[in-house]
């Protein structure tokens, strides 16, 4: 972003701290810490999602369900739950403090 200052000299729109901080990027240490936390959370979420696979056989035996019925139950439950939660949670995120909601989501 180029312009002129009140004295008529050219201005590039950046500060002495550098273009990265002017663009709103965090310092590298903070960015690396955030990346590490989000990577670990992604790993935990993946492991959590795989745990359902270990529970399918005991659930099928206990509920006396076929493979097709179990697949329909899992897919339908996930789809309905996701679709019912998406709109209210989207509105909540748009209207509240995102950092607090992210922290709450990580803790839960």
Judged by average pLDDT, the poorest of 7-16, 34-43, 65-74, 89-98 is 7-16
Domain residue extents for the chain: 18-50, 65-108
CB atoms within 10 A of CB 50: 9
For residue 69, what are the CA distances in angstroms to 2, 53, 55, 73, 93? Answer: 64, 15, 15, 6, 35
pLDDT band at 12 (very low <50, low <70, confident <90, very high): low
Give the pLDDT confidence score for residue 27 in this predicted structure.
92
pTM, to two decimals: 0.46
Which range among 4-8, 14-18, 38-42 shows the weakest confidence by mean pLDDT?
14-18
Q: What is the pLDDT of residues 15-35, one digit of tens each?
A: 444 455 557 888 999 999 989
What is the Cα–Cα distance from 42 to 48, expressed in whole angstroms? 10
Is residue 76 scored above 80 in pLDDT? Answer: yes
**Nearest to residue 59, comparing CAs of 48, 70, 75, 72?**
70
């Amino acid at each position: 972003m180029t312009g002129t200052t009140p004295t008529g000299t050219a201005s590039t729109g950046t500060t002495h701290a550098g273009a990265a901080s002017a663009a709103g990027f965090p310092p590298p240490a903070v960015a690396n810490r955030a990346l590490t936390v989000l990577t670990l959370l992604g790993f935990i979420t993946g492991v959590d999602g795989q745990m359902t696979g270990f529970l399918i056989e005991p659930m099928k035996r206990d509920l006396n369900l076929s493979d097709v019925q179990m697949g329909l139950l899992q897919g339908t439950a996930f789809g309905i739950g996701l679709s019912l939660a998406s709109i209210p949670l989207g509105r909540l995120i748009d209207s509240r403090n995102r950092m607090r909601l992210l922290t709450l989501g990580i803790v839960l």
